[in-house]
């Protein structure tokens, strides 16, 4: 069944209570979303790219916008003012930016948010997990409201084969670099008001902090 994502606010409570809580005026974006409205807050939002390098160099495909709030199972785009809809597997483009400007990679009929880019990359599957980047570089994560799932993946380099994530991948490197005990000993802060995914987000951010440390080591080899 086609999944219609009318507003991101419906998909995930993160959009209500986390990223936009400090500025409720931004919630008006979701009443009638457009790429231009998102770009007022996230300048590189809702674009398509020929390569990942084009994303980092701010060189999107001209006159082509992606509408990620429309569907998680199809690609809706605006090209030269005309809305087009295609299956993800038929779009012919492998790189996108979501409504918050996060890089996304397409592999066949699935899209993945690139949360960590490096020798070991970390992804969250679009439609089976939500991710919002905070100003301090951390992320708020949540399950998708449609699927109730959070699927995480990894690849060796950004263009490598994407495989299901296991924490054992990270722990192998932490053991190699002498950080495993430090990692295990680091406590996750908790507060009475926390939801399950407030805590889970901190756990994932801790994991990503150490993954970035590993990537710095691997990048020097």
Q: What is the pTM of this model?
A: 0.86
| Distances from the Cα of 190 to the Cα of 75, 143, 203, angstroms | 38, 19, 11
**pLDDT (tens digit per residue) in 74-108:** 899 988 888 899 999 999 999 999 999 999 999 99
Q: What are phi and psi of 29, to 5 degrees?
A: -55, -40
The b/e string for 184-206 (b: 16+ C-beta within 10 A; e otherwise) is eeeeeeeeeeeeebbebbbebbe
Q: Is residue 128 part of a domain?
A: yes
Q: Is residue 15 part of a domain?
A: yes
**pLDDT (tens digit per residue) in 175-220:** 999 999 999 999 999 999 999 999 999 999 999 999 999 999 999 8
Query: Residue 168 pLDDT > 90, yes or no?
Result: yes
Q: Is residue 73 part of a domain?
A: yes
The residue with tokens 């599957």 is 125
Q: Is residue 89 part of a domain?
A: yes
Q: Is residue 189 part of a domain?
A: no
Q: What are phi and psi of 118, to 5 degrees?
A: 175, -165
Q: Is residue 188 part of a domain?
A: no
Count of the separate structural domains present in the chain: 1
Q: What is the 3-state secondary structure (H, E, C) of the chain?
A: CCCECCCHHHHCCHHHHCCCCCCHHHHHHHHCCCHHHHHCCCCCCCEEECCHHHHHCCCCCCCEEECCCCECCEEEEEECCEEEEEEHHHCCCCEEECCCCCEEEEECCEEEEEEECCCEEEEEECCCCEEEECCCCCEEEECCCCCCCCCEEEEECCCCCCEECCHHHHHHHHHHCCCHHHHHHCCCCCCCCCCHHHHHHHHHHHHHHHHHHHHHHHHCC
Q: Is residue 204 part of a domain?
A: no
**pLDDT (tens digit per residue) in 109-146:** 999 999 999 999 999 999 999 999 988 999 999 998 77
Range of the domain at 155: 8-165
Distance CA 28, CA 15 (A): 12
- Residue 84: other Cβ atoms inside 10 A: 13
Q: Is residue 174 part of a domain?
A: no
């Amino acid at each position: 069944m086609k999944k219609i994502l009318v507003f991101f606010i419906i998909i995930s409570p993160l959009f209500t209570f986390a990223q936009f809580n400090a500025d409720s005026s931004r919630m008006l974006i979701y009443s009638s979303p457009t790429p231009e409205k998102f770009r007022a807050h996230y300048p590189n939002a809702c674009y398509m790219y020929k390569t990942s390098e084009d994303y980092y160099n701010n060189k999107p495909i001209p006159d082509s916008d992606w509408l990620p709030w429309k569907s998680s199972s199809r690609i809706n785009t605006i090209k030269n003012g005309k809305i087009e809809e295609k299956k993800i597997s038929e779009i012919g483009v492998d790189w996108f930016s979501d409504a918050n400007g996060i890089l996304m990679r397409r592999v066949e009929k699935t899209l993945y948010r690139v949360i960590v880019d490096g020798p070991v990359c970390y992804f969250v599957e679009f439609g089976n997990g939500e991710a919002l980047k905070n100003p301090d570089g951390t992320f708020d994560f949540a399950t998708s409201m449609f699927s109730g799932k959070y699927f995480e993946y990894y690849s060796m380099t950004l263009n490598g084969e994407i495989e299901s994530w296991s924490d054992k991948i990270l722990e192998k490197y932490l053991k190699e670099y002498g950080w495993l005990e430090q990692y295990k000993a680091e406590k996750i802060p908790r507060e009475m008001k926390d939801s399950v995914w407030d805590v889970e987000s901190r756990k994932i951010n801790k994991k990503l902090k150490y993954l970035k440390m590993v990537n710095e080591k691997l990048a020097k080899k």
